[in-house]
Amino acid sequence: MPSPKLPIDSARHAKPPVSPLVEATVDLVREAVRQRFAESGMTWDEFVFAGSDRLVTTEDMRAVEARILASGHRFDWSAGISVAERPEVYKSAGGVADDGAGFAHPDAPTGEADAQGRALRGAGDNVVRHKQDVSGTALYIRSNDRVLDLLSNGVPPGTIAIIDDSGGTLTAPIIDQFTGVICAGGTVRSHLGILTREYNIPCLMNAKVTGIREGDRVLIEATADAKTTEDYQQGVERTAKVWVLAEAAA
């Protein structure tokens, strides 16, 4: 008797892969679930609503991770804690430095100052298209201590927060005080992207930036087209630029 098959997400399979790693992870998880479903003797509805939470185990997911790592892949990071706690599993956090130099992403687009005094220092996925670009002072936020200090003393006016973590939990208590946000992880659908959308704060997610020092005057291309879910699914490149204003860079 052939093994029962899982319902197929035809929409996902009809579109180009998001990335080889994402597709490999999804396929291995499907394989593990298919095996547990076949062994269960249940109908699909019984398996989903009464059995999957105990029949698909933590060990199954660990086996998926082990197979991915054995193939040479490493996971992308969205929070600094990922790299700090499991450096053997996650990719490098893009050259994050603690000397005020900030991120040094190898794929960040860069350029010399143009006629308007803007030096290109990166790009990211725009959450919402705004009527005007937004400028402010770069402030790296990477720790609870910094958030507590800002809660106590206030966020300086005109702050462009530069953040590692796409979850948004770290900065949620002060997010409404930011002029703009640049996040090195996540997508426009991440928690931080949702929060900035609700507060109407210009935000770039999945940003690749380099050479922005704390205290620099930066400009976010908030007028760029917002990146959509369909863009991610179809592999469409749609980014917004980040500039350092030349007088600050000097």
pLDDT of amino acid 18: 56
Weakest mean pLDDT among 24-33, 89-98, 232-241: 89-98
Q: Which CATH number characterizes residue 204's domain?
A: 3.50.30.10
Mean pLDDT of all residues in 6-17: 47
pLDDT of amino acid 186: 87
The CA distance from 92 to 96, in Å, is: 9
pLDDT of amino acid 177: 96
Q: For residue 158, what are its two tokens?
A: 């005109």
Tell whether 238 and 140 lie within a shared domain: yes
pLDDT of amino acid 120: 96
- Residues with Cβ within 8 Å of 13's Cβ and at least 6 positions away in sequence, in order, are none
What percentage of the chain exceeds 70 in pLDDT? 82
The CA distance from 38 to 6, in Å, is: 10
Asked if residue 105 is part of any domain, the answer here is no
pLDDT, tens digit, 9 for 90 and up, residues 162-177 = 998 777 778 989 999 9
Reduced to 3 DSSP states, what percent helix, strand and coil does the chain have, rounded to the nearest 5? 35, 20, 45
Tell whether 69 and 134 lie within a shared domain: no
pTM above 0.85?
Answer: no
CA-to-CA dists, residue 46 to 28, 43, 55, angstroms: 22, 5, 12
pLDDT, tens digit, 9 for 90 and up, residues 199-250 = 999 999 999 999 999 999 999 999 999 999 888 888 889 999 999 998 644 4
How many domains are there within the chain? 2
The CA distance from 219 to 110, in Å, is: 14
Tell whether 30 and 153 lie within a shared domain: no
Q: For residue 109, what are its two tokens?
A: 């687009």
pLDDT of amino acid 8: 43
Tell whether 144 and 51 lie within a shared domain: no
- Host domain of residue 241: 118-249
What percentage of the chain exceeds 90 in pLDDT? 52
Mean pLDDT of all residues in 57-83: 82
pLDDT of amino acid 110: 94
Tell me: pLDDT of 3 over 60.
no
CA-to-CA dists, residue 10 to 13, 35, 207, angstroms: 5, 20, 31
pLDDT of amino acid 78: 60
